[in-house]
Amino acid sequence: MKMLRSLQTQARKLGSRLSGPAPLNGEYVGPRAKGRRLRGLFTRGEEGGALIEMALTAPALLLLFTGLITFAMAYKNQIVLTQATGVAGQYLAQIRTTSTNPCSDVFSALKNAAPGLNSANLSVTVTMNGTTPTQTGNSCSGAQTDLVQGSSVTVAASYPCTLSIYSVAGFKLGSGCQLQAQVTEYEY
């Protein structure tokens, strides 16, 4: 019996020598330990990698997002200006015989059709019977004589827009633009 235990003990010792050193608290001590420790120096702290990636990509994503919003607002203003110009042109064609100040009437119709646009920045030009009357502000009193039955009327409107996304130290990313719309109404 003693001999059997002695043989088992010797076999365990021989087996442990062949398989390498026993682990101690999850780390191996021996010739392999140096490589693992060196690798551990480079792989520690991986949980901060996502934070660094987010810090590097967030500014680009915010720039893209704010740029999309800026262009969407300019596009919305263009659509509103186009529709309001059409409404103003139709209104002028309808009040052709009763208007005493067609430019003021057109401007009022355009302003009412586009409540989201700043009316101080709207610029309106009216062409009646092929002539563009001299406007004083938004008024062309006396030009109703150009409203001839059967002739066309053209309403052109412009509105400034700003595509300035970011401004850093005097450098602007994006620039100003001018939105324009024109409609011609014919009377048959």
Give a yes or no: residue 106 inside a domain: yes
- Assign 175 a pLDDT band (cuts: 50, 70, 90): low
18 falls within a domain? no
Instruction: Give the DSSP per-residue string, 12-75.
Output: HHHHHHHH-PPPBTTB--STTHHHHHHHHHHHTTGGGHHHHHHHHHHHHHHHHHHHHHHHHHHH
Residue 163, amino acid: L
- The total number of structural domains in the chain stands at 1
Give me the domain span that covers residue 141: 60-185
158 pLDDT band, cuts 50/70/90, is very high
List C-alpha distances in Å: 188 to 3, 149, 150: 124, 9, 6
Q: What does residue 173 show for φ and ψ, rounded to 5 degrees?
A: -90, 110
In a domain, 115, yes or no: yes
For the entire predicted model, the pTM comes to 0.66
Per-residue pLDDT reduced to its tens digit, 21-68? 555 555 555 555 666 666 666 666 666 778 888 899 999 999 889 888
Q: Give dist(CA 113, CA 107) in Å, integer.
A: 10
Q: What are the φ/ψ torsions at residue 20 (nearest 5 degrees)?
A: 105, 180
Q: Cβ(89)–Cβ(185) under 8 Å?
A: yes
Q: Is residue 32 part of a domain?
A: no
Query: Do 157 and 180 meet the contact criterion of CB atoms below 8 Å apart?
Result: yes
